[in-house]
Structure 1
């Protein structure tokens, strides 16, 4: 059953200034190693200022933008990319973790964005994405071990 999202109130009082803050979105730029992406950041903002308070999942858009920049700049796959490649290879999360020797629960954590795969794991995922037939070799090696 999907969790119900609690509707956030339209206003809140700033704990620092006592000023009324309004629920809104503002442009926010995320930068990683010289690359930038601008996102619409939800939060509570005072009139005429971008200094806001962020609650709940507000920062998820910046997290996603940073992950996308890391994928572009350093080749660290995003949780969505990892899930797409794993499904393309027709692997369960447990099987993928076993075949890539990262642990049975690693793909669950990768796909939820709790941890990032190591450099070698990222490279292997990229190669498997480009050459899915190689998963057969991994399965053979895994069975022999």
Structure 2
């Protein structure tokens, strides 16, 4: 069983305070350049107020909120947007890497949120989202 699918224990001892923490969800504010989103953040929390401990994929909701705000403010496409545009263009991740002239595993990394595309790649993704018919011109350059 992988670490991502393993059932987490219902409680743990805080490594900092020794206090008993219970698995739960609390609202968490994520802010970026004047925007703010509140997400439900899973983790281990003390009774009442206090800091929690986050393990595994607990921070995924906060990461997704940050990417959403970066897309709105800076135009950096989120992993979901990148995957949607690639599917719209009917390209595999490897084929998208060839068309965009980035590494063969770049789109896998973009779509998993491990790295963000460079400025020119962002512009090309945005352009092809608006004008998908232009993909034929780019694919013709590969032949």
TM-score range, shorter chain: over 0.9
Distance 1:24 1:30 in 2: 18
User: RMSD of the alignment, in Å?
Assistant: 1.5
What's the counterpart of residue 122 of structure 1?
A: 122
Distance 2:4 2:130 in 1: 38
1:26–1:50 CA contact under 8 A, matched in 2: no
Structure 1 unaligned spans of 5+: none
Distance 2:50 2:133 in 1: 50
Structure 2 unaligned spans of 5+: none
What's the counterpart of residue 14 of structure 1?
A: 14
Distance 2:94 2:6 in 1: 33
Distance 1:32 1:142 in 2: 39
What's the counterpart of residue 93 of structure 1?
A: 93
TM-score (normalised: structure 2): 0.94
Runs (4+) of structure 1 moved beyond 3 Å? Answer: none
2:128–2:134 CA contact under 8 A, matched in 1: yes
2:4–2:57 CA contact under 8 A, matched in 1: no
Q: Is residue 2:54 matched to residue 1:54?
A: yes
C-alpha spacing 1:118/1:55, structure 2 compared with 1 (3 Å): same
What's the counterpart of residue 83 of structure 1?
A: 83
